[in-house]
Amino acid sequence: MAESKARKTATEPAAKQAVTSAAKPDVKPDVNQDVKQAAKPAVKAAAKPTGKAAAKPPVKPPVKPRKPESHLAMVRRARRINRELAELYPYAHPELDFENPFQLLVATVLSAQTTDLRVNQTTPALFAKYPTPEDMAAANPEELEEVIRPTGFFRNKAKALIGLSTALRDEFGGEVPGRLADLVTLPGVGRKTANVVLGNAFGVPGITVDTHFGRLARRFGWTTEEDPVKVELAVAEIFPKSEWTMLSHRVVFHGRRICHSQKPACGACPIAPLCPAYGEGELDPEKARKLLKYEMGGQPGQRLKPPSDFPGEAAARADAAAHQGRVADLGVDA
């Protein structure tokens, strides 16, 4: 009797498995059905949002990847970006206050690792005390450091200012030279500073690769280089020499106002259709508009003494408002 029960128990799983196999024939899985099954939980969750889930905004659609472009296509797109930026920033200019080449040279050296506004707040007292290279070359280091302290790194900057002023006095007759080869021999002066001075004090075309320009040049797909000199050389091959100085101003303006380092305002950018990096920043137009800075956000720029031919804050705001059709609503008071 016990043996009979054991045989019955041992054969039951096999029998059940055979019946199950017979009821479910071997067929290929239905891919569409699998997709439907996978989608059910999402549909159910979407149909009955509760609590925090109900307050979450809808997921943004992914940004479509761009097709690979030829070098010629990149050049054409880059030049179109320059034209668009020229329309957006017809008033682009150096945002450092200066009245002569020496003041621009000093202000540019001071602008490292700080804002142009901070430099513009510091230089009036600096140039009142040291108006010429001869005066600055003879400055007491501690006194000079105290004047430029607000710009940061004041000890290194004071050393550079005294050094370059001494070189101007002893080697260039107290005058700022108008050649790149001469400018880069001055203490604290590299190609970026030299190009700023050449382009804006002497009218010699130059590309100014600061942090903003380098960042946007890579975002725009003009180059992948990180070294400023290599970025300069790469961009110089894309644009005619006559455009170099104004191109620098436009790109820097755009980097400071819209295409920021941490939170670019992609959703409020007029050149978004031309930018391979579109989608790295805020895409929602309302949120993006809140990220706009200076005149684009209804605030003044960085110059305290703008040049006489600068259209001024009111004109800059009006020009920004004129682009509302392209940038949606910039939130600027016209």
Helix, strand, coil percent content, the chain, rounded in steps of 5? 60, 0, 40
Q: Spell out a b/e string for 214-233, using b for 16 or more CB atoms within 10 Å of the CB, else e.
A: bbbbbbbbbbebeebeebbe
Nearest partner of 100 among 176, 174, 39, judged by Cα: 176
Q: Catalytic: 192?
A: yes
Nearest partner of 79 among 237, 218, 215, judged by Cα: 237
DSSP assignment of 238-302: TS-GGGHHHHHHHHHHHHHHTS-SSS--GGG-TTGGG-TTTTSS---HHHHHTT--GGGGT---S
CA dihedral 228, 234, 236, 237 (to 10 degrees): 170
Query: Which tokens go with 319?
Result: 């020009």
* Residues 329/296, Cβ–Cβ less than 8 Å: no
Given 192, 287, 293, 309, the catalytic residue? 192
Cα–Cα distance measured from residue 64 to residue 70, given in angstroms and rounded to the nearest whole number: 19
The length of the chain is 334
Given 210, 227, 230, 319, the catalytic residue? 210
Q: Please work out, in degrees rounded to the nearest 5, the angle formed at the alpha carbon of residue 101 by the alpha carbons of 156 and 130.
A: 55
Q: Please work out, in degrees rounded to the nearest 5, the angle formed at the alpha carbon of residue 288 by the alpha carbons of 283 and 292.
A: 145
Q: Please work out, in degrees rounded to the nearest 5, the angle formed at the alpha carbon of residue 214 by the alpha carbons of 62 and 252.
A: 95
Cα–Cα distance measured from residue 188 to residue 169, given in angstroms and rounded to the nearest whole number: 16
> What residues contact residue 91 under an 8 Å CB cut-off, 6+ apart?
310, 311, 315, 316, 319
- Catalytic positions are 192, 210
